[in-house]
């Protein structure tokens, strides 16, 4: 497919001068002033690298297009060009189906800087010497003469072998005669980002690994109906161990073959684009699998190559390898990896996994972040990794103005989500990782009447000014075995017996249904500038997520989504699902996610009542488990007539219908909560509702 941005059109080929605007960052947050020298030093490191790439590589566009040269490529004349970086090897060979699996028949030629190349001419009849679908391996000859089988780090398609051919993945040369052609342009970047985090493999209710095709046909329509405008695809980069959830990557350029082939993934993304959905890739550049035969580890026969050697190159908790971000070729590999997914598959952006591990030499292990700025600007910060993240965001945003990048960082690194020109790391959003932890803590450790409302509101609103946050009540992390989804924390005692609409009302289910809707709505409206939901949680998916493994007898029972529950109109799951759609559609109408943060006017500890306004809407939540309030005064930002536009207690969503939606609320010129106007409302217990002006 032709790239949407041609190299000659790239602004970066000119290596333009970028004027730093660090003063803007310091003006916005004066507490950063004592660390100005460190911020400028980091920016200087980035700028030095950018200039070196421009001078030595002919421009950043060329440097970040390494996938066009490295790996195995079929040329227009049907010859084959191969190129690898293996500085620790004495010799390289390519073997496979094409040469009868003779290991040393086709040697590479050694180039400068640890690079190797091989050219195979077209066959005498003009056909390609390596056919589409052929299996190949790279052979590394060490200094002692031993020969090691490896997969190319740039392999674009690898497959699990048949049971009788070992357990290591096999590289397949992928150049189909009919490559998929995209029919739809990328959608415009949404102002309000509503993300549906999903895993293709578990997206089927059958006990198997789901496919790209099944996801395209069966799940995308659900996502569109729910009102989400972004998909976040997990576990796409190939990983030999399914149970790693995709976070132990073995082949960085290969879309996982367990769900289908690359063309089928392209069609999935194209169909998503046709519905106006942007598609984000959960990219793992924080570490890599320790696998040797089918991973990057020890590719050239040494313990370094793409990684730091020795203990610095090993993540103690994840049992994985850590990239050497100071290495020129590692930077080429990783930056080109981002370009590969943007160009080849037409992804619209990335959620960067494990950013906290990248930012600090401690990898965040055993480290609590108190918010003291010295924790972020001391010797513990890994400048090489920070510089890589700055470069990654700089390249992506310069070449693709509508790209979206999200950082998974629990540390709260200042300026992580400010432009690189300001001395920031350049991300568009960070994940609000403290929010789901707070919900689980409340549900797990406290009785409803003991919830600390002030602390809850602090958690939902505690974010850096003008650094956007993706809020979420739960993600895949909370769904994993060993934990519980919010629905399960709330209702696990009776989810198998009292979720029928025909059964008698149950206090456990009533409480769970009410709080599930309230938790999502207050998180959506108050917690950030974007919202995320994990596949199935919109309807209160029961149980946890556990992939097939030895410990569960390779069972798929918990590695699937039970769509039958939400599709059955005799079950209450559909109420939660319908509420999710109504909540997203209301946000689409009023756009609170892309407005300024909410102003909280009420957080009453005794009453357990919260009220705030955002985007002209007024949100009221009564978390009290027993007490409803009549004529309860709340502040409103503007005078006028208000009406209810969303209500968690609506019978449509399985509630009790205690609020009359025909009621009109007229503001009073009586100051309250720092506003000159207020309303008197009825706030039923365990209910959240939204008011909008209607005059």
Active-site residues, by number, are 353, 408
| Residue 290 CB contacts under 8 Å (≥ 6 apart), including other chains | 248, 297, 314, 319, 320, 321
**Rounded to an integer, what distance in angstroms lies between the CA atom of residue 633 and that of residue 327?**
61
Rounded distance, CA 551 to CA 528, Å? 38
Q: What are phi and psi of 115, to 5 degrees?
A: -100, 155
Question: How far is the C-alpha of 387 from the C-alpha of 46, rounded, in Å?
Answer: 5
> Residue 260's Cα: distance from chain center in Å?
21
Residue 319 CB-density burial (10 A; 0-12 exposed, 13-18 middle, 19+ buried): exposed
Task: Count the Cβ atoms, other than its own, within 10 Å of residue 62.
Answer: 17
DSSP 261: -
96 three-class SS: strand
Rounded distance, CA 544 to CA 561, Å?
A: 10
Phi first, then psi, for residue 555 (nearest 5°) are: -85, 140
Residue closest to 358 by CA, chosen among 336, 384, 332: 384
- Reference 464, options 614, 592, 597; nearest CA is 597
| Eight-state DSSP code of residue 201 | G
Distance CA 105, CA 83 (A): 17
Strand pairing of 135-141 and 91-96?
A: antiparallel
Count of CB atoms within 10 A of residue 19's CB?
6
For residue 451, which of 592, 311, 297, 604 has the smallest C-alpha distance? 604
Q: How far is CA 149 from the centre of its chain?
A: 33
């Amino acid at each position: 497919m032709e790239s949407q941005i041609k190299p000659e059109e790239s602004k970066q080929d000119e290596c333009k001068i970028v004027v730093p605007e660090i003063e803007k960052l310091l003006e916005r947050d004066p507490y950063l002033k004592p660390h100005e020298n460190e911020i400028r030093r980091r920016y200087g490191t980035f700028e030095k690298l950018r200039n070196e790439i421009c001078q030595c590589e002919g421009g950043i566009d060329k440097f970040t297009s390494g996938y066009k040269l490295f790996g195995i490529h079929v040329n227009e004349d049907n010859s084959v060009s191969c190129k690898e970086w293996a500085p620790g090897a004495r010799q390289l060979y390519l073997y496979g189906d094409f040469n009868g699996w003779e290991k040393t028949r086709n040697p590479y030629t050694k180039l400068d800087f640890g690079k190797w190349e091989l050219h195979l001419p077209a066959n005498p009849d003009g056909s390609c010497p390596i056919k589409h679908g052929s299996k190949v391996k790279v052979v590394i000859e060490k200094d002692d003469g031993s020969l090691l089988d490896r997969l190319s780090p740039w392999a674009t398609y690898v497959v699990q072998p048949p049971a009788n051919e070992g357990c290591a993945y096999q590289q397949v040369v992928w150049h189909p005669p009919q490559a998929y052609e995209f029919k739809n342009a990328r959608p415009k970047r949404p102002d309000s980002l509503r993300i549906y985090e999903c895993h293709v493999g578990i997206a089927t209710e059958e006990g198997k690994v789901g496919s790209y095709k099944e996801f395209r046909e069966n799940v995308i329509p659900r996502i569109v109906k729910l009102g989400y405008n972004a998909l976040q695809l997990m576990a796409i980069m190939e990983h030999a161990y399914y149970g790693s959830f995709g976070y132990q990557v073995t082949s960085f350029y290969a879309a996982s073959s367990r769900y289908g082939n690359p063309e089928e993934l392209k069609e999935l993304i194209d169909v998503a684009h046709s519905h106006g959905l942007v598609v984000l890739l959960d990219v793992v550049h924080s570490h890599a699998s320790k696998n040797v035969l089918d991973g990057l580890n020890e590719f050239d026969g040494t313990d370094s190559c793409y990684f730091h050697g020795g203990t610095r190159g090993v993540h103690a908790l994840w049992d994985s390898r850590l990239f050497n971000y100071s290495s020129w070729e590692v930077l080429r590999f990783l930056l080109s990896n981002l370009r590969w997914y943007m160009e080849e598959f037409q992804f619209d952006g990335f959620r960067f996994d494990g950013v906290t591990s990248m930012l600090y030499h401690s990898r965040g292990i055993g480290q609590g972040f108190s918010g003291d700025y010295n924790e972020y600007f001391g010797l513990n910060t890994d400048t090489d990794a920070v510089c890589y993240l700055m470069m990654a965001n700089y390249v992506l945003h310069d070449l693709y103005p509508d790209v979206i990048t999200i950082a998974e960082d629990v540390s709260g690194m200042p300026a992580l989500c400010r432009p690189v020109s300001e001395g920031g790391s350049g991300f568009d959003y960070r994940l609000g990782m403290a929010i789901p932890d707070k919900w689980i803590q409340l549900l797990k450790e406290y009785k409803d009447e003991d919830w600390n409302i002030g602390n809850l509101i602090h958690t939902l609103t505690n974010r850096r000014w003008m650094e956007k946050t993706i809020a979420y009540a739960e993600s895949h992390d909370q769904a994993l075995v060993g934990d519980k989804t919010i629905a399960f924390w709330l209702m696990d005692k009776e989810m198998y017996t009292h979720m029928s609409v025909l059964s008698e009302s149950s206090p456990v289910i009533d409480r769970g249904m009410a709080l599930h809707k309230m938790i999502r709505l207050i998180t959506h409206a108050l917690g950030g500038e974007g919202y995320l939901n994990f596949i199935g949680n919109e309807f209160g998916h029961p149980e946890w997520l556990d992939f097939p493994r030895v410990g569960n007898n390779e069972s798929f029972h918990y590695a699937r989504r039970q769509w039958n529950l939400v599709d059955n109109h005799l079950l209450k799951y559909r109420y939660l699902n319908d509420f999710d759609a109504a909540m997203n559609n209301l946000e689409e109408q009023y756009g609170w996610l892309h407005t300024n943060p909410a102003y909280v006017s009420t957080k009453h500890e005794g009453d357990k009542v919260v009220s705030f306004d955002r985007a002209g809407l007024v949100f009221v939540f009564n978390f009290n488990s027993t007490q409803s309030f009549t004529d309860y005064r709340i502040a409103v930002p503007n005078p006028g007539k208000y009406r209810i536009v969303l209500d968690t207690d609506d019978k449509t969503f399985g509630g009790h219908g205690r609020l009359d939606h025909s009621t009109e609320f007229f503001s009073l010129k009586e100051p309250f909560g720092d506003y000159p106007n207020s309303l008197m409302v009825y706030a039923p217990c365990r209910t959240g509702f939204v008011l909008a002006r209607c005059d």
